[in-house]
Amino acid sequence: MAFIFYDTETTGVDTAFDQILQFAAIKTDNDLNELDRLDIRCRLMPHIVPSPGALRVTGVTPAMLTDPNLPSHYEAICLIRAKLIEWSPVVFIGYNSISFDEELLRQALFQTLHPTYLTNTSGNARADLMRIVQATAIYSPNVLSIPINDKGRQTLRLDQLAPANGFAHDKAHEAAADVEATIHLARIIRQRAPEVWESMMGTCRKADALRLATSEEPYALTEFHYGREHTLPVVHCGSNPDYDAQVGAFDLRNDPAAYLQSSVEDLIDVLNTSPKVIRTIRANAQPIIFPLASLPDDGKTNFRDDDVIAERAAAICADVDFCQRVGQAMSLRFADREPAEHLEQRIYDGFPDRADQALMDQFHQTDWHGRRKIAEQLSDRRVREYARRLIYMEAPGVLSDGARAEMDAWIKDRVLTENAAVPWKTVPKALEEVNKLLAKSVNRDVANMTDIKSFIEGLEHRYK
């Protein structure tokens, strides 16, 4: 099994509306020895306003955002995708990657008219070292030194965890350095907690995770909410018939007798009520699932005795109708949800059809005049709009005067809008943010923040 360890540096923390600025990846063999690496930066897209706070953390300067020697976002994503496909099949692994970096990569692929699910198709699988670290802290608690933050709580932030475990992380928040830090921690876990490593590798593929999550035997499920660990005894209690990766798990600290006769409507309320009696597991997101017997003794303090757990699990698994109703409730839970308002939020609103997929592939094989013609043939509104954006950003000369003027107006409204309710970063929001940071800045940070403020003001003047 080979791995691709990767990390991104971005314009901000919104996975739908920010963009990748730097992508670094290292391919390793099964023993985590480096085989190859990639490190690429790109320019800022014209409709993206970067977060001053994000630039401060990553050290990205305004000059880097507009460096003409760097590839455009589209060019960079094409290069990244080609290299990742060349290295595949592998297990993709980052640090907090399933929730963040991978979402940004998927957005980047979709917005550049490429197939979205590169990391978990064509023999690839995905893992997240943060989840492996979380599992290690529970099941092999002496393997890693977990630092304490300024609030007196344990922290798993990579920039603190890696140094606490022997990695000289002088370039934290620089993508290539963060990849190296991630590999360093992975080697420690693989060498000192091989059982945990192998168990977590056993849930990096959806099919394998489903086998564990749908077992009739109770198991320990670990979730984290606001940084706090919750490890529960659960058993499978239903699966979403419309989304096979979504599995229901009943918290066996509760007596199922109170729920077995519940209607589908009542079970929807149960799914929406906190604390959760029925948890929702994403089998395609490397859930932390272990046998109950694996838990250290101090991990069972909130559980009832084994006989009660086994009795409750048996009652649930024997009630086929209950499990079917739970699956129906999971399917109907968000049935009345309104479609997302903005294009970037519609990435999961279904796949483009086969005809559009063929056109998307052709899009990358021709010149920009040909791409303009292909864009007009696309039936999926999302893909057609992204094609139009790409053509405008990469080759505006192939557009008519009217089409260019329309796109100019779109960018101006996008960047300068005074509507604070929009979910993306705007110039007014960025100026407010940078002014707050400037008020707290000292020494060199003042010059950095002043430079960033000048850049944001330049965007304002450019589009007015």
The CATH number for 126's domain is: 3.30.420.10
- Percent of all residues in the chain with a pLDDT value above 70, rounded to a whole number: 98
The alpha-helical segments, DSSP class H, found in 88-174 are: 102-111, 129-139, 158-164
What integer pLDDT is reported at residue 94 of this predicted model? 98
Helix (H), strand (E), coil (C) string for 18-43:
CCEEEEEEEEECCCCCEEEEEEEECC
What integer pLDDT is reported at residue 302 of this predicted model? 56
In a domain? residue 339: no
Domain final residue, candidates 332, 362, 377 = 332
Do 126 and 73 share a structural domain?
Answer: yes
Domain that holds residue 312: 213-332
Q: By the 8 A CB rule, do 55 and 19 touch? A: no
What integer pLDDT is reported at residue 153 of this predicted model? 86
In a domain? residue 206: no
The torsion region of residue 125 among left (phi > 0), alpha (psi -120 to 50) and beta comes to beta
Do 306 and 175 share a structural domain?
Answer: no
Residues 19-29 pLDDT 10s? 999 999 999 99
> Phi and psi for 231 in degrees, rounded to 5?
-110, 125
In a domain? residue 205: no
Do 266 and 187 share a structural domain?
Answer: no
In a domain? residue 255: yes
Residues 342-357 pLDDT 10s? 999 999 999 999 999 9
In a domain? residue 312: yes
Do 186 and 166 share a structural domain?
Answer: yes
Q: By the 8 A CB rule, do 133 and 142 touch? A: no
| DSSP label at residue 220 | E
What integer pLDDT is reported at residue 342 of this predicted model? 96
Residues 83-102 pLDDT 10s? 999 999 999 999 999 999 99
Do 175 and 89 share a structural domain?
Answer: yes
pLDDT for residue 303 is more than 80: no
Do 183 and 221 share a structural domain?
Answer: no
Q: Would you place residue 9 in the very low, low, confident or very high pLDDT band (cuts 50, 70, 90)?
A: very high
User: Six-digit token pair at 112?
Assistant: 């550049």
Query: What's the number of domains the chain is made of?
Result: 3
Strands 34-41 and 219-225: unpaired
Helix/strand/coil for 356: helix
Domain final residue, candidates 279, 302, 332 = 332
Do 157 and 88 share a structural domain?
Answer: yes
Q: By the 8 A CB rule, do 317 and 235 touch? A: yes
In a domain? residue 337: no
For 300, half-sphere exposure in the C-beta direction (CA atoms, 13 angstrom radius) is: 13
Length of the chain: 464
Count of other CB atoms within 10 angstroms of residue 461: 8
Do 294 and 258 share a structural domain?
Answer: yes
Do 144 and 25 share a structural domain?
Answer: yes
Q: Would you place residue 150 in the very low, low, confident or very high pLDDT band (cuts 50, 70, 90)?
A: confident
Average pLDDT, rounded, for the chain: 95
Q: Would you place residue 296 in the very low, low, confident or very high pLDDT band (cuts 50, 70, 90)?
A: confident
Amino acid identity for residue 21 in this structure = L
Q: Would you place residue 147 in the very low, low, confident or very high pLDDT band (cuts 50, 70, 90)?
A: very high
Q: Would you place residue 300 in the very low, low, confident or very high pLDDT band (cuts 50, 70, 90)?
A: low
Do 226 and 174 share a structural domain?
Answer: no
In a domain? residue 204: no
In a domain? residue 207: no
Instruction: Kindly state the average pLDDT of the residues 199-227.
Output: 94
Count of other CB atoms within 10 angstroms of residue 385: 16
The alpha-helical segments, DSSP class H, found in 145-301 are: 158-164, 175-192, 194-201, 206-213, 264-272
The torsion region of residue 30 among left (phi > 0), alpha (psi -120 to 50) and beta comes to alpha
Q: Would you place residue 304 in the very low, low, confident or very high pLDDT band (cuts 50, 70, 90)?
A: low
Domain final residue, candidates 198, 227, 258 = 198
Report CA-CA distances (Å) from 201 to 46, 89, 322, 354, 437.
40, 15, 31, 33, 41
Do 277 and 181 share a structural domain?
Answer: no
Do 395 and 326 share a structural domain?
Answer: no
Instruction: Kindly state the average pLDDT of the residues 262-270.
Output: 97
